[in-house]
Amino acid sequence: MKPDDLGVHPRTSSVHAVMRDDPGPTAEECLGRTTHFREDMRHGGGSCHAVSDMLSRIGDKWTLVVVSYLGEGPMRFNEMRREIGNISQKMLTVTLRNLERDGFVTRTVTPTRPPQVEYALTEMGHCLLVPVTGLARWTLDNIARIEAARADYDDRDGAAAGK
């Protein structure tokens, strides 16, 4: 039963495994080493790929977009759908569900004639925007350099192996 069932939480189950027992190499496995990271990572006791996991979460196609829209204030489903424009209702649903599950947004159903559902960022949701914005700022500040590096790289192998 439930063949597809909208892929909500089956994938993020890995974090559970790491956080609970996980007898083997906790800190030494994934992001294990690295001075920079280590220094900042001996907080949670060595949960390493939890960070990669988080980045994959917010790094997916829609999460950040949705969060940023909600950052301005609560919105309803189709309102977001229209504003964002190119998102499918499936992905909006899935994204919102995952965000709700992680405690980043709240879902409030107002049972009117045509039912209204309002989504809003939680405190933690807003909180998340802070470091994310930091990375966003960095990206925008350095996008030119990255662009240049890419063009340079593409030139070289384009000229060499081009044909």
List 50, 71, 77, 122, residue binding DNA (CB under 7 A): 77
List 50, 116, 126, 132, residue binding DNA (CB under 7 A): 116
Q: With CB under 8 A as the contact rule, which of the stretches 88-96, 112-120, 147-155 interacts with its own copies? A: 147-155
Distance of CA 65 to the CA centre of its chain: 9
- C-beta atoms surrounding 90 within 10 Å: 10
List 37, 50, 71, 97, residue binding DNA (CB under 7 A): 97
Long-range contacts, 109-118 (Cβ 8 Å, 24+): 116/76, 117/76, 117/77, 118/74, 118/75, 118/76
C-alpha 142/C-alpha 146 separation (Å) is 6
Check if the beta carbon of residue 122 is closer than 8 Å to that of residue 106: yes
Q: Is the Cβ of residue 62 or residue 104 nearer to DNA in the bound state?
A: 62
11 binds, among its own copies, DNA, none (CB under 5 to 8 A by kind): DNA
Binding-site ranges for DNA (CB under 7 A): 2-7, 11, 60-62, 76-79, 87-91, 93, 96-97, 107, 114-117
